[in-house]
Amino acid sequence: MPADALSAVFSALADPTRRDMVARLTVGDATVNELAAPYDVSLQAVSKHLRVLEDAGLVTRSRDAQRRPVHLEAEVFDLMTKWIERYRRQAEERYRRLDDVLAAMPDGIEPTPPRTPEKQTPKPTRRGATS
Amino acid sequence: MPADALSAVFSALADPTRRDMVARLTVGDATVNELAAPYDVSLQAVSKHLRVLEDAGLVTRSRDAQRRPVHLEAEVFDLMTKWIERYRRQAEERYRRLDDVLAAMPDGIEPTPPRTPEKQTPKPTRRGATS
DNA sequence: GGTCTTATCAACCAATTGGTTGATTAGGAG
DNA sequence: CTCCTAATCAACCAATTGGTTGATAAGACC
């Protein structure tokens, strides 16, 4: 039940069984029983997994008599993809720039290392944990 | 400590503080103290977060006197991206096909709904949980 | 040598998680 | 109405998680 959406999605997919169910659902909607079939766990456990996926917005459930077909909401993937790509690109960009600097550098001079040496932010008390 | 790499990565990024640290590290390597500065938690807590990120292969730590600079390993992102893209594409492909079928359909006939109606897999006992 | 800084290890704690079993709801079939 | 099927709710349990404090290790500084 993490408040923010991104945490919920990552957390939901951190479980191999749940990832497996998502994979299964790309093939088409399925009932809880159908989803449970491959796994050696109780139906209730599967039900719980589905709730996690639902809370994360990865699946929705509709109604068909006493069955509750589960449907994959692929759009949520975009949330993750965006987050990942953003920082991946940023990190790669950084290396590219660093490589350029090193390449352009005449041998023997000190390059001001990329380790962010400057500020040390004294940071107030903190130990008492205000929140 | 999930055994499989993908679970470890997803799990590591399921925490907003840890995602934040990853974001910070795209700018450049940092020491534990530098990483801890923005957060209102103990240094030990940050140390633990870093261990989770390290176990997931998202960061590595080197040595610089008594400092342990943390370095982002952006390649691991690919693991996730691959998994996500695979199933996202699969899901989108499925809808595309479904749309085609519906579009090609003359009005008024029963389209065999996309809800995977066929097999019901009797599945043996199961309730006793063998593993 | 002592002491300050940087960081980890160790024990503990409350909350969450993934699983269980048992009871219950909801709807179709006899 | 009674029974069967599909699924959820509820209570419980062990393991994991994110946090804490206290002690310790490893170097630099004087």
Reported confidence tier of residue A93, pLDDT bands at 50, 70, 90: confident
Determine the average pLDDT of the residues in A95-103: 69
CB atoms within 10 A of CB B108: 5
Q: State the Cα–Cα distance between residues B125 and B82, nearest whole angstrom.
A: 36
Determine the average pLDDT of the residues in B6-33: 96
Q: From the alpha carbon of A54, which nucleotide's C1' atom is closest? A: D8
Q: Which residue of B has its CA nearest to A16?
A: B7
Chain A: nearest CA to B112, how far in angstroms?
13
Q: From the alpha carbon of A2, which nucleotide's C1' atom is closest? A: C16
Contacts of residue A23, defined as CB under 8 A and 6 or more positions apart, other chains included, come to: B87
Q: What does the block give as tokens for B104?
A: 């090609």
Determine the average pLDDT of the residues in A35-47: 95
Determine the average pLDDT of the residues in B7-27: 96
Q: State the Cα–Cα distance between residues A94 and B122, nearest whole angstrom.
A: 55
Share the mean pLDDT of chain B: 80
Nucleotides of D under 7 A from a protein CB: 5-11, 16-23, 25-28
- The answer to whether B1 and B55 have CB atoms below 8 angstroms apart is yes
pLDDT given for residue A128 in this prediction: 33
Residue B58 exposed, middle or buried by CB count within 10 Å (0-12, 13-18, 19+) = buried
Share the mean pLDDT of chain A: 80
Q: A61-93 burial, b for 16+ CB within 10 Å, e for fewer? A: beeeeeeebbebebebbebbeebbeebbeebee
Reported confidence tier of residue B3, pLDDT bands at 50, 70, 90: confident
CB pair distance less than 8 Å for A7 and B15? yes
CB atoms within 10 A of CB B74: 20
pLDDT given for residue A106 in this prediction: 56
CB pair distance less than 8 Å for A81 and B77? no
Lowest mean pLDDT among A32-41, A98-107, B38-47, B111-120: B111-120
Determine the average pLDDT of the residues in B5-33: 96
The kind and range of the H/E element at A71 are strand A70-72
Determine the average pLDDT of the residues in A112-123: 38
Regarding predicted confidence, which is higher, A54 or B97? A54
Determine the average pLDDT of the residues in B38-61: 96
Q: How far is the CA of B77 from the C1' of D15 (A)?
A: 28
Q: What is the pLDDT of residues B54-111, one digit of tens each?
A: 999 999 999 988 899 999 998 999 889 999 999 888 888 877 766 666 666 555 444 4
DSSP β-bridge partners for residue A67: A64
Determine the average pLDDT of the residues in A112-116: 40
Q: How far is the CA of A65 from the C1' of D4 (A)?
A: 14
pTM for the model: 0.78
Q: Give percent of chain B above pLDDT 70.
A: 72
pLDDT at A115 > cutoff 80: no
CB pair distance less than 8 Å for B94 and A26? yes
Q: Give the up-direction half-sphere exposure of residue B61: CA atoms within 13 A in the CB hemisphere.
A: 16
Contact, A32 CB vs strand D, < 7 Å: yes
Query: Which chain B residues contact residue A127 at CB under 8 A?
Result: 42
Query: Which chain B residues contact residue A131 at CB under 8 A?
Result: 40
Q: What does the block give as tokens for A9?
A: 């999605």
Q: How far is the CA of B69 from the C1' of D18 (A)?
A: 23
Q: From the alpha carbon of A39, which nucleotide's C1' atom is closest? A: C19
